[in-house]
Structure 1
Amino acid sequence: MKNNTNFSRFERLPLGVIKPKGWLKDQLQIQADGMTGHLEENWADVGPDSAWLSGTGESWERGPYYLDGLIPLAYLLNDKKLLAKSQKWIESILTSQTESGWFGPKNKDWWSRMIVLKVLIQYYEATHDGRVIPFLINYAHYQKEHLEAEPLSEWGKARGGENILSLLWLYNQTKESFLLEVIDLLKKQTFD
């Protein structure tokens, strides 16, 4: 990774490069003390029965969207309670991956996993957890093998660009050329 003080003005900054202070830190703390920090206690869809936590509850996008906010909040504040909450989800996701590369609940939805890819990238940027890159590579192989027979549909077809952004990030980390093939497949199946 480049020296943190040498980013191009057009480059997306990784989570944790900028530390919140003053008003922004206060606003983030309000979120941590408020609904974001207590959502699992108040909304069953992201509670302990979530299918993303190996339960039998909600299995689509609610857990991933919750994590898309929880991960950056936990790491920006370095909040031990939120870090523990988010780690529980990360561990469940990382350990759910099958040998084929598929992961998460039993649903066959591409869209919710697109959100998880963004979550895992943020988590990786904050932690450099060595399990993330192989996990993402395995899933990209799964996509390469299955997108033709099981093309994007519904939200996945409308939001495939988010999957493409995640794979571009992964390509920039690994230079794995097959990722460009997967990106082409996604582009063909995504609404313009």
Structure 2
Amino acid sequence: MKDTAKHQGLRNQLVSQLKEKGITDLRVLDAISRIPRHLFLESSFADFAYQDKAFPIAAGQTISQPFTVAFQSQLLQVKKDDKVLEIGTGSGYQTAILCAMGAKVYSIERQNELFKQTSVFLPKLGIRPKHLSFGDGYKGLPNHAPFDSIIVTAGAPIIPSPLMAQLKVGGRLVIPLGNEHQIMTLLIRKNETQFEKHEFGEFRFVPLLENKN
């Protein structure tokens, strides 16, 4: 499948919708205008790729709706060359957005099927995260820490303490907290022991998996 002028037009429409919904970060909007979301979906969903909806992908997971991707990305306040840890590579779409924003992305995926697919697929698009790994997102990537920011793309009942430990002072951790429904939560690390917490309303994610496979 190709990326055509029609697809670019649909992305431009999507960007306009995201602006109307309150996304103001120009680097987020630019990344969404450049990354071909239809290529991250199964062919049966490709015609609907630029609707602001989530869709199923392999291994019982989903690709988040564009507003959720944009909202989480905006909360991160990514700067060029920031080290960003992503928990839940999934389809690789959020990974690609962060890479397009200039981040050095370290991403970890719990589902081996998705990890293998995305490891092959992203380089084909010319997208090269700093590090992709298969493993337990609850544990993070201590060997690559600390990180400027951490994004969790699945619903978690608690904030995993290893992730808090791997965040730089001044860093931002964005995580959907809860079981059935999640509250989008931002932690800002103030010093070695203190975190500032902000909440941004209800979202819905697939659950963050631990010790599976």
TM-score in terms of structure 2 length: 0.30
User: Which structure: larger Rg?
Assistant: 1
TM-score in terms of structure 1 length: 0.32
